[in-house]
Amino acid sequence: MKKYLVCIAILILTVQIVSGQSKPGNLQSISSEDLKDKIAGGWAGKMIGVTYGGPTEYSFRKAINDAPIKWTPADLAGSNTQDDLYVQLSLIMAMDKYGIGVSAKNLQEQIAKAGFTMWAANLQARKNYFNGIYPPESGSPKYNYRADDIDFQIESDFIGFMNPGMIQNCIEISCKVGHIMNYGDGVYGGTFVSAMQSAAFFQNDMEKIVETGLTAIPKESNYSKIIRDVLLLHKYYPNDWKAAWKELDDKWSEIDVSGASIDFNFDATLNGAYIVMGLLYGDGDVMKTIDISTRCGQDSDCNPANAMAILGVVKGFSNLPKEMTTEIRKIEDSTFSHTTYSFKTMVESTYNYAIQYIKRNGGTIKDNEIKIPVQSIRFKKTEVSFPNVVYDTVVSAFSKERWQFKGNWQVWQVPHWEKDHAPIDQSIYASKAGDQVEFTFNGSGIALYGNIFKYGGKADFYVDGKPDQTIDTYYNYCNQEPLDICIWHVFQLKPGNHTIKIIVKGEKRLESAGTNICITRAFVYKTAQKKNESFMFSFQK
């Protein structure tokens, strides 16, 4: 085969990204029955997609899933325990309490105090709440190493469902909600998804729905670039999604800053591209859409769930496969975990909120006809969480030639997962005031990993002799104690040699059972232009 380079700038001439909406001032009409049917279709789609892909979540990383997928509509009964649903239903519960004008801090409080475990950017947002760090800082790159992760994208569907045809509303609400746990591309992922769902109430051409979603996010963002790449790839490989996947993976698979050195990709951008792969190559078919989005891998339950939530709005509940809707009807009164909502009540509640937003934005409801003004699109400047940050190396805390320990640092052991084995040396820890450690590296950024747990205490961090932050490593919510995760990070340093110092304070918050500071390893980053900036594909003939 002959390989040659094709400049995307040329191909863009064949794919003009234009909005699927009418000009501002025009009205979109929908009946109340169709509005409710489409909302029900969106929620049902979310349930279908997440249960289909659930068993393969992160089982296929940087690899296409060609294995058999065993799923039947009866598996929809398991949707009531899926965090893809109950986290955003928890956010709706905050709206029930405070109204549609609910503040970002109240939304953060709702999920922070909820009775379910959380991970990645959501986990950090919860910890930030209890440390007195509120939106938008709680999702910012300074306080959330997972700022670009997929969390808000997973939880954004309710925004689109509540704002039929009102793209600007999706942007504004996404800005508020998304910055609880994310920033930049992490926020744009949820904005894009909700905007597509909003467009899906009045549009059934999937390419135009994707294009409309793009109007809601800055074209300079990596998120916009990767989605445009998927559109181009679909033009080039219209009948071969696997070839398109390979080109996409070659260009974008290293985008995940927080997933450095591993093949797990938690970044919103690549997972968002897999949503669009399912939508474009699925050709409006339910099974093809969720199957392709699932087989793209990585977060393979969340991605088909978002894709199917969009297709569900397009089709409406009444036009989904009967064998699926029948199973949903069987559980429509069952309450979703950690919430007060069932399928039936969340559809009714979402419809009522949609009516409120429609009226608030100048729409009218007369008899059975709802008219909604088309909104002009505007958004703030482009946010970039970690500009030109590239992973370089990782250094274990047990590599003592790289670390200078002073004081009483010891090995923290945890039980081996096999009972007959000796405990595992999991981290290096200290607990007394004045215990300290220094680490010197060459680069422009560092992420220090350790434990946040019920024995966690406080420490002061210094960069090149200057104070940076005081951190608190206590965490024990919902009996969850995450080990070996980022406890502190700093980026955008001048490239070169730097020294960080950690001084244990010997202090703790009242709830903590100790003053321990545990460290496991350090990820070192450098500054370099990422290859995805090249706007080039190596298409094969």
For 201-247, write each residue's pLDDT tens digit: 999 999 999 999 999 999 999 999 999 999 999 999 999 999 999 99
pLDDT in tens, 486-501: 999 999 999 999 999 9
Q: Which of 400, 396, 427, 422 is nearest to 523 (CA)?
A: 396
The rounded distance, in Å, linking the Cα atoms of 87 and 126 is 12
Residue 335 in tokens: 């309450």
Residue-wise pLDDT tens digits, 369-396: 999 999 999 877 899 999 999 999 999 9
Span(s) in the chain for CATH 1.10.4080.10: 21-373
Confidence of residue 278 (pLDDT cuts 50, 70, 90): very high
- Note whether 138 and 128 are within 8 A (CB): yes
To which CATH superfamily is domain 389-531 assigned?
Galactose-binding domain-like (2.60.120.260)
Residues of the chain with CATH 2.60.120.260: 389-531
Q: DSSP letters along 240-273, please?
A: -HHHHHHHHHHHHTT--STTTTSS---BHHHHHH
The token pair that represents 450 in the structure block:
């350790």
427-444 pLDDT, tens digit per residue, is 999 999 999 999 999 999
Provide the CATH number for the domain formed by 21-373 in this structure.
1.10.4080.10
The DSSP 8-state label assigned to residue 189 in this structure reads: H
Model confidence band, residue 531 (pLDDT cutoffs 50, 70, 90)? low
Question: Can you tell me which residue has the tokens 């709680």?
Answer: 138
pLDDT, averaged across the chain = 92
**How much is the pLDDT for 2?**
34
pLDDT of residue 11: 38
Mean predicted confidence (pLDDT) in 149-165? 98
* Residue 539 pLDDT exceeds 90: no
